[in-house]
Amino acid sequence: MQYSSFVMGRKTYDALQNYGQKLLEPFEKLTIKKIVVTNNRNFHPKPGYIVANSLDDALGHGPDVLVSSGPILNTSLLKNGLIDKVIFYAVPVTVGEGIKPFDIETERYLIPASPPRSTEGVTIYEYRVVH
């Protein structure tokens, strides 16, 4: 699937900027629109990123939007009925459980769309969102 834009929160943007040039450069060369959602009107990302100060503004950059963000933005999108599908990539790690993708329990919002599948040690979970 082709996506029209990639939406992230400001903290995800900050984390990306700390990845180092070798990891960051291929992402920044992608021709997809890169949108950072923030309430901070003084936030100015480097060139190549668009700032959105609302969820509607962030999602208004095309029909198929890929969101990769933290629990605050993810929860807001889910609660406001602004997403249709959630895909989790579970990568085994030896350092704890990682960051939870939502700030809420999601059972009432998410229904498995297909059985989990594994590829190259990564388990992929797809969910349909109940509106």
Rounded distance between C-alpha atoms, residue 104 and residue 99, angstroms:
13
CB 53 within 8 A of CB 41: yes
d(CA 45, CA 54): 16
- CATH of residue 27's domain is 3.40.430.10
Is 91 a member of any domain? yes
Look at residue 78 and tell me if it is in a domain: no
One domain, residues 10 and 48 = yes
Please give the tally of structural domains in the chain: 2
State which residues form the domain around 113: 83-131
Task: Decide if 76 is inside a domain.
Answer: no
In this structure, are 42 and 98 located in the same domain? no
**Any idea of the CA torsion for 42, 20, 103, 108, to the nearest 10 degrees?**
120
- 3-state class (DSSP) for residue 119: strand
pLDDT along the chain (131 residues), means of 10: 88 91 90 93 94 90 87 91 88 68 91 93 92 82
pLDDT tens, residue by residue, 16-26: 999 888 989 99
Note whether 5 and 50 are same-domain residues. Answer: yes
Output the pLDDT for position 97.
65
Residues 90 and 47 in one domain: no
Domain shared by 18 and 42, yes or no: yes
Q: Give the whole-angstrom CA distance, residue 49 versus residue 22.
A: 18
Per the CB < 8 A criterion, the answer to whether 108 and 128 are in contact is no
pTM for this one? 0.82
What are the structure tokens assigned to 131, written together?
């509106």
Give just the sign of the alpha carbon dihedral 52, 55, 65, 87: positive
Last residue of a domain, one of 18, 41, 69: 69
